[in-house]
Amino acid sequence: MEVVKKEKYYTDNQERMAKLAKALSNPVRVYILDFLANNLDRCCYSGDMVDDLPIARSTLSEHLKELKKAGLIQGEINPPYIKYCINQANWDEAKVLFGSFFNR
């Protein structure tokens, strides 16, 4: 059986923007990013955020996982805690990608 290579219609930037947009598609995730961006001088533990949000710790964990998967945040494990920060390189990339998209 011959494998047919599917033609790519989207640029790498378009695919990256879609991945970032998906991560930003939930208001809790936007809140988390806002919280972390306002605390750029230090990283935050998930427990710091769970006290401010009306969601379960497990739900927060899932949102953090999605943001990490998109590369917008990074986590450092210090058992039993996980410390989260903005991934500055990817944050800057997102600003450039969306900025150039919306500034046409």
pLDDT digits 0-9 by tens, 46-103: 877 888 788 898 999 999 999 999 999 998 888 888 889 999 999 999 999 999 999 9
Residue 87 CB neighbour total at 10 angstroms: 19
Residue 3 forms part of a structural domain: no
Residue 6 forms part of a structural domain: no
Task: Give the pLDDT confidence score for residue 4 in this predicted structure.
Answer: 66
Angle, vertex CA 68, rays to CA 65 and CA 85, nearest 5: 115
Which residues does 101 contact at the CB level (< 8 Å), separation at least 6?
17
Cα–Cα distance, 71 to 87 (Å, whole number): 7
Residue range(s) defining the domain that contains residue 24: 12-98
Distance of CA 88 to the CA centre of its chain: 11
pLDDT digits 0-9 by tens, 12-55: 999 999 999 999 999 999 999 998 988 766 778 887 788 878 88
Check residue 35 and report its DSSP letter.
Answer: H
CATH for 40: 1.10.10.10
Residue 29 forms part of a structural domain: yes
Residue 2 forms part of a structural domain: no
Please tell me the pTM assigned to this model. Answer: 0.83
Task: Give the pLDDT confidence score for residue 54 in this predicted structure.
Answer: 84
